[in-house]
Amino acid sequence: MHTAVVGAGPTGLYTAIALARRGHEVTVIDRDPGPDQNGSWKRRGVMQFHHPHAFRQQVGEALLAEMPEVWDGLITAGAELATVPDQPGQPERVIGLRCRRLIFERVLRSAAEAQPGVTLRTGHVDDVRTEQGRGVGIRVSGHQVDADLVIDASGRAGKATQAFRGPLEGGDCGIAYVSRQYQLLPGAEHGPMNVPFGIVTSYPGYQAVVFIHDNRIVSILIARANTDRQMAALRSQDVFEAAIGAIPSLAAWSAPDRSQPITPVLPGGRLHNTYQGQRNAAGQIALDGLIFVGDAVCTTNPVAGRGVTTSLMQTQRLVQLIDDHRRDFTSCSLEFDHWCETNIKPWFSDHVYWDAELIRRWSGHDIDLTRPLPSDLIMAATAVDPEMLNVVGPYLAMLALPASLAAVEPRAREIYASGWRPPVPDGPTRDELAELVTSVSARNGGFR
């Protein structure tokens, strides 16, 4: 069977390798020609490529299950294991990989290039070709590519197959990012950490995060409401540096005796929570022989680092279903759609509610106890009652669906009803940070 995969991101590459190992001939088409010979990679059209990524252990497990050499390649390339203490006397438990997306994709792409049965082609997929109501291939930069099955792994920005699909649920998550990468200096120790991937500090109005990657490279990030126009000037280098210098958890990492910047400041807008299944506007399978997977199905606010996990969870399931259903692609799409509705969509819904409530609180409102508590507040309440971690822990690790939190929601509600609120770390309030942003920006001639 010949399968055409649209998109050579994590989803497309993983799908191609896994299918080729099951006997498919796979052609993967991406408009991006791949990394330069010196290993650098601009990756136009994938805005998030140089923004921080944390890879959860589900990603590691997906690699170990199908392509262990990719896992080994990542470790050889400098990726570090993120671990947490387990039972006393037991070794630490691995919960993910600390690695730049650049390294992750470069290693995965090399494996796809080396995989017999996979052909990587550079080109723009214009649309899907149909005959008698079924997909028979794609058009790539004006040329025809025949295929028995077309898999759309074109990510959140893919447009080639939109005409077949029903409406997209969700949209902008309301949050914007600014980040920059730094290299730790020889001999410099790590800065403060409160999670295995680095440090997360949350203030009413913004969030400050450090992600540890491979090879002693870290990303420093500030997230804000995208309606907070005053903070938009954070994308200017001097403003960003002044702002991170004022936030203790970030300043400790960016101090000149600890690290130096290695990239420009990277703005990251248009962060989405979206879901779009396998059906058309009439509720039927969009097209026999065309299946959507990865970010083309679901995107979530990256703050919880779930995107590559939900993408590879889908891919693993899809590859099994393609095996089971053989050439009955409509049955395969139906079963995959049902599986995604049950196992992937709840992560989308979780973020939609979490983000809307967070933005509401960032605009000055208190926690609303007349409504269901969002997941971030249920997680925060474990600081008061660590027993709740029995339920919250599996959710946090994405081993239990968001609905599992219902078991501890009443206890969290009790905690907030008593007047407790998550403690705010040392550092500027949103207004103080915005004032700093405005004054540095004005000193530099303003921000447009």
Ligand X SMILES: Cc1cc2nc3c(=O)[nH]c(=O)nc-3n(C[C@H](O)[C@H](O)[C@H](O)COP(=O)(O)OP(=O)(O)OC[C@H]3O[C@@H](n4cnc5c(N)ncnc54)[C@H](O)[C@@H]3O)c2cc1C
Residue 57 or 333: which CB sits closer to ligand X? 57
Region from 42-50, 212-220, 277-285, 321-329 binding ligand X, contact rule CB under 6 A: 42-50
Burial (0-12, 13-18, 19+ Cβ within 10 Å), 251: middle
Shortest reach from residue 52's CB to ligand X, in Å: 6
The whole-angstrom separation of Cα 447 and Cα 231 is: 10
Shortest reach from residue 112's CB to ligand X, in Å: 12
The whole-angstrom separation of Cα 5 and Cα 125 is: 10
Using rule CB under 6 A, residue 302 touches ligand X: yes
Q: Which residues pair with 66 in a beta bridge?
A: none
Region from 18-26, 44-52, 109-117, 432-440 binding ligand X, contact rule CB under 6 A: 44-52
Using rule CB under 6 A, residue 274 touches ligand X: no
Strands 118-122 and 25-30: parallel
Residues 288, 290, 291, 295, CA torsion sign: negative
Using rule CB under 6 A, residue 277 touches ligand X: no
Q: Which two tokens stand for residue 350?
A: 């979780």
Residue 162 or 284: which CB sits closer to ligand X? 162
Using rule CB under 6 A, residue 9 touches ligand X: yes
Shortest reach from residue 309's CB to ligand X, in Å: 5
- Residue 82's identity, in one-letter code, is A
Composition of the chain by helix, strand, coil, percent to 5: 40, 25, 35
Residue 205 or 305: which CB sits closer to ligand X? 305
Shortest reach from residue 437's CB to ligand X, in Å: 20
Shortest reach from residue 445's CB to ligand X, in Å: 28
Q: Which residues pair with 139 in a beta bridge?
A: 127, 144
Residue with tokens 């991937």: 197
Shortest reach from residue 221's CB to ligand X, in Å: 9
Q: How far is CA 97 from the centre of its chain?
A: 13
Residue 6 or 63: which CB sits closer to ligand X? 6
Q: Which two tokens stand for residue 147?
A: 């295929």
Pick from 27, 48, 201, 236: which binds ligand X (CB under 6 A)?
Answer: 48
Using rule CB under 6 A, residue 3 touches ligand X: no
Contact map string, positions 125 to 154, toward ligand X, x by CB under 6 A: x---------------------------xx
Shortest reach from residue 201's CB to ligand X, in Å: 17
DSSP sequence for 198-249: EEEEEETTEEEEEEE-STTEEEEEEEEETT-GGGGGGGSHHHHHHHHHHSHH
Nearest to 180 by CA among 143, 133, 213, 140: 213
Shortest reach from residue 105's CB to ligand X, in Å: 8
Residues 249-268 touching ligand X, rule: CB under 6 A, are 268
Using rule CB under 6 A, residue 355 touches ligand X: no
Residues 158, 162, 168, 172, CA torsion sign: positive
Using rule CB under 6 A, residue 160 touches ligand X: yes
Using rule CB under 6 A, residue 7 touches ligand X: yes
Gyration radius of the chain over CA positions? 22
**Residue 343 in contact with residue 90, Cβ under 8 Å?**
no
Residue 175 or 440: which CB sits closer to ligand X? 175
Using rule CB under 6 A, residue 11 touches ligand X: yes
Please give the residue ranges that form the binding site for ligand X (CB under 6 A): 6-12, 29-32, 45-46, 48, 51-54, 124-125, 153-158, 160, 177, 268, 271, 294-295, 302, 305-309, 311
